[in-house]
Every structure is written in C-alpha cells, then in structure tokens.
Structure 1
Amino acid sequence: MNIAILILAAGAASRMGTVKQNLEFNGTTLLGNAIDQALATGMQNVYCVLGAHFETVGNSIQDKAVTVIENKNWKNGLGSSIACGIKNIEVNNLDAVLVMLADQPLIDAEYLKQLIQTATEHPHSCVASDYGKKNGVPAVFPKQYFKELERLSGDQGAKELLNSPAASVIKLDARDRVWDIDTPEEYARLLKK
C-alpha cells in the first residue's frame, strides 16, 4: 500500500509566544522529531506543510528527507493546511495519506506503523486516533476521501470527517500519546517527562 505522510506545521503558535516548531526536543526540534518519527516508519513520501515563520522553520529542517509545501493561507487554520497538502501531493499513485501534527511529540514511529498496518488491512476505512470522546489525528485517510480533504478550511481540520457517522472510521487507542504542546507550561511539562 502506497501511503504518504503529511506533517502539519504551518501555525503561528501564538499561545506559545515563540516559533513552536523549532523548540528543542529529543536532540532535535518538535518538528524535526515529527519528521524523524515519520521517516522511521519506512514510508518514502514524507511531506511537511509550513506557513507562519516559513523561512525560519524551513531552515531548521533543511537536512531532513522531507518535501516542504508552503501554505500561504495558513491563517485560515488547520483545515486549509490539510487541503493545501493534499492538493500539492502527487496523489495519483497513492492509496492513502497519513496526517499528523508537528506538536504531538509523544507520537512515535511505532504508533504510526500501527496506523499504517491497520490502514493496509482495511484499505477503504479511515484509521483515526481515539481521543476518548472524539477521533482525531494522527489518522490515515484512504484516497476516496482526498476530494473531501481538499475542500477543508477553518480550524476544525478533519475532525468532522473523522467523527461523521457517514464515514467508515476505525479507532486506535493512542493512549497518552495524543498530547498537543500549545503553551510554555505544556512544553515545560514535556521536558520533565
């Protein structure tokens, strides 16, 4: 199964008060770590959507084997980054896209491989991370959902699709891995882990 990985890192991180993507973590940066985990799955096509602080963030990942996509409309939210990513990936030969965030540092390659394995076994279903009451990303979207992803906008991202009764969605228990780092306090807690 040919799956591309799309890492979303276009936000301005206003609550953090600094360029969140470049914060140090795990011997690299938050974004660098997300890219390393994506590459460790063995998938060949890894893309990263950047927007705010495009040059600063882009320079920090120059040595990574990742294709950078610029979302000039990043102010329109997460949904616009997913749409921009899907539109800019060569999707013709893809079976699915795994969408993940740069600011979920506890998501590791092992968990991403579980998502990919489940998607391979169920090629016509979305495979989402179970947040308890809701489903979210990281999630794998099969190609029949690409058009819908291209139409996303606003800050909701793909939540509506992943929680829609009309969509076929398999949930994986992400346990405590789905933790977004949005504030200096959360970042401080992360560094203490």
Structure 2
Amino acid sequence: MPAYRPTANCIWRSFRASSKKHLILTGSRGSGKSTLLSALFPQPMPGLTSYVVPEDGVYMKKNLSGEAVQIGRYQADAPGNTNKMQPVPKAFLTKGIEFLDMCIRHPSDWVTIDETGYLEQTIPAYQEAISRLLAAKHVLLVVRKQKLPFLDALCKRDDCFLVDLDKPYGDTFCIIMASGKSKRFGANKLLTDFNGKPLIAYAFDATEMLGQNRLVVTIHPEIAHICKKQDIPFLLHNLPDRNDMIRLGTGAIKNKASHCLFLPSDQPLVSRETIGALLFCAKNAPDTIWRTCNQNTVGSPVVFPSAYFDELSALPPKNGGNTVIQNHREHVRLLPVTQHYELADIDTPEDMQAMKIIAAHARAK
C-alpha cells in the first residue's frame, strides 16, 4: 500500500476536473475502498451495499430501506479450485434488477454500489441493468479487484474515472527541479530555513506518495547530500540552463515512466492533495498535459505524458516546459488549486518572509 493514502477531497477534485460521469474505486481487500466511499458520501445514498455472512453467503442490501436479499450462497463442498461462494441467479434476476431499477427512479443524481464483483459475472441480465443505471445516473461504484470480463469492461469505460488504491498513481514519475542559482535571493534559497526545514524539504514532503518514482535534478552538492541521506533519487550535474535540467531528468526516467510531473522546488505551500489530484487527472486522461491554475492564472506543477518526452529533451537553450505547452495548447487541461498561494514561488528574501506569514495564517485556520 502507498505510504500516503489519497483523501476523499483529493479524489473528488480530480474527478470533477476530469469531466467524467462515474467514479470507480478498486483495489485489493483491505485497501480502503468502502472507507473512501463513506468519506466521499458521508450521508446514506440511494444504491446497494453487499456484505458477507461467513459460511452462509453474500447479501445485497438497499441502502435507504435496508431490504436485503441473498445473492451468493456458500458451498463448502464445491469441487477443486471452484469458488465456494456461488451466485443465486434468481435473486439477481428478481430483487437485484428491481433494486437497480428503483435506483434509476430515485430523484438523486448519484447512486452508490459497494461492491460489484465475482457473483455478477455470470448474470448478463443484471449486467444490463447496471448499464441502464450508468446511462441514467452518476454512479460511485466499488469494483472488486479481479480479472473478469465484466469488471474489466466497467473499469475501462470512457466515462468512468478510475481510482486503483493498490497503485493510485500508476507509473508516473516526478522530477523535482532544483538547479536554480538563486541569484535574486543572494544565497542558496533551497537550503534556507522555512519554518524549521530547508525550503527543498517541502517539495520532498509534497511528493512523498511517489516514493522512489522521484528524481531531484540539481547542480548543488548540498542538495544531493540531503537526497542521499533521505534515500531520494537524485541527479547531480553542472550544466547551466533549464533545458539542460529537463533533458537530463527526462532522459533518466523516460524508459520507465508513463508520465512525468515537473515540480519547482521553491513552492513550499503546494499541497500533497494538489499533487495527488494532478496525478489522478493524468492517469485518467493519459494523452493530456495537466497543469495547475488559480482562476485565470496558470502555474506549476505540470504533468506531461510520455508522448512529449522527446520534445522536452530537445528544448532550445534556456527554454522550459512552457515551450511544449504552447506548442500543444489544445491538449492542455487545468486543475484549480484550492488556495492561490499554492502557486506562489520564492525568488527573494522578501518573498520568503511574505510566504512565512501566509503559512502562519493558513496553519491558524
């Protein structure tokens, strides 16, 4: 399991930005699917919840009325490797479909189903009823993590936003850009104390969920030393320009990354939640460049799909990723930050002092 579990708000923000209709949660047993569903919809919603009675069977319950029906029966004498929980077709074809049709008629825009899994696989008429529900409503659907045609088809629907809690961010990497010379600051700002930690530490904290799928690209041996102590991958170089840093970083991760998030290391108030939401957006729209914004102001971080790695590696001298963005504006989408100061960077000692005041106010709320 990832060290940092995505929050309900992180998932909801990315889902809303995606413009998709349905939200699917999947993952192995114990990954937190049902807990997350409850956090997303704290109040009882129209829909269905399945639960197991050990050595008896699986029951499907209507959320609002509590009416239940047995949809799976435990068969201790099932031969060989046969699943001992077998479907009760009549229950699906009568009460199951009836329950779904009642959800369609309910005035709520949203319906929740926890969960859909192995038992539904052999009941085509019930699958068709779920398709009717998906056509009529927004559905938050918990899907069992199992390779079955019906479950795979649900997860691959174009109108579904998929959150896999076993590997929430896929094969996305992050390049933490730490090669600036801090000329306007007068010293290495990334090593300067910001509320008890070096400024660079905030970039490490914000991207913690990516673990070893990070690369700090820096010209500073002191930064490389910090990375080594914290077991964070780094690339130490002595080249002068931004395009050099991007080329080196992209070249180092391009054979193993589906996307790359570029994070400046001087934005201490960008949140983990915003980073996570940006990564979810990228995973669910794999051909899109995603960047953060505040109203009409765009900013960093930015996520590029691997299709743009070659172009990023061939930037003109002194150019950055914005050159690629301008070349492909039709493929860019925006994720709003929750607070305007997440996009603010530090260039001068005055900037740092102002940012400390903002951070103190944010902590006091």
TM-score after normalising by structure 1: 0.88
Residue 146 of structure 1 is matched in structure 2 by 309
Name the CA distance, whole Å, in 2 between partners of 1:173 and 1:16. Answer: 29
SS state at 1:92 partner = coil
Cα displacement (A) at 1:134: 5.7
Q: Does 1:16 align with 2:146?
A: no
Cα displacement (A) at 1:112: 0.2
Name the CA distance, whole Å, in 2 between partners of 1:139 and 1:129. Answer: 7
CA shift in 2, pair 1:165/1:49, >3 Å = closer
1:83 is aligned with what amino acid?
Answer: R
SS state at 2:245 partner = helix
1:185 is aligned with what amino acid?
Answer: E
Measured on the aligned residues, the alpha-carbon RMSD in Å equals 1.9
SS state at 2:260 partner = strand
Conserved 8 A contact 1:115-1:172:
yes
Cα displacement (A) at 1:104: 0.7
Residue 286 of structure 2 is matched in structure 1 by 123
Name the CA distance, whole Å, in 2 between partners of 1:5 and 1:166. Answer: 22
Map 1:90-109 → 2, pairs under 5 A: 91-109=254-272
CA shift in 2, pair 1:63/1:145, >3 Å = same
Which residue of 137, 151, 158 corresponds with 2:321? 158
Q: Does 1:63 align with 2:194?
A: no
Give CA-to-partner distance per residue, 1:14-52, whole Å, 9 cap, x none: 00001111111243211111012111x24541110001x
Residue 45 of structure 1 is matched in structure 2 by 213
SS state at 1:17 partner = coil
Conserved 8 A contact 1:4-1:98:
yes
Conserved 8 A contact 1:136-1:159:
no
Aligned residues: 187
Residue 204 of structure 2 is matched in structure 1 by 35
Cα displacement (A) at 1:164: 3.2
| Ranges in structure 2 where 5+ consecutive residues have no aligned partner | 1-169, 359-365
Name the CA distance, whole Å, in 1 between partners of 2:314 and 2:294. Answer: 24
Which residue of 324, 331, 344 corresponds with 1:168? 331
The percentage of aligned residue pairs carrying the same residue is 25
- 9-18 vs 21-30, greater mean Cα deviation: 21-30
Name the CA distance, whole Å, in 2 between partners of 1:95 and 1:26. Answer: 35
Name the CA distance, whole Å, in 1 between partners of 2:227 and 2:197. Answer: 10
SS state at 1:152 partner = coil
1:4 is aligned with what amino acid?
Answer: F
Name the CA distance, whole Å, in 1 between partners of 2:307 and 2:257. Answer: 11
Cα displacement (A) at 1:160: 2.0
Conserved 8 A contact 1:22-1:60:
no
Name the CA distance, whole Å, in 2 between partners of 1:130 and 1:48. Answer: 24
- 115-124 vs 63-72, greater mean Cα deviation: 63-72
Name the CA distance, whole Å, in 2 between partners of 1:152 and 1:134. Answer: 24
Cα displacement (A) at 1:123: 0.5
Name the CA distance, whole Å, in 2 between partners of 1:135 and 1:83. Answer: 23
Conserved 8 A contact 1:31-1:102:
yes
2:221 is aligned with what amino acid?
Answer: E
Q: Does 1 or 2 have the higher relative contact order (CA < 8 Å, sep 6+)?
A: 1
Name the CA distance, whole Å, in 1 between partners of 2:330 and 2:257. Answer: 20
Give CA-to-partner distance per residue, 1:92-118, whole Å, 9 cap, x none: 232101110000111111100010010
Which residue of 169, 173, 180 corresponds with 2:345? 180
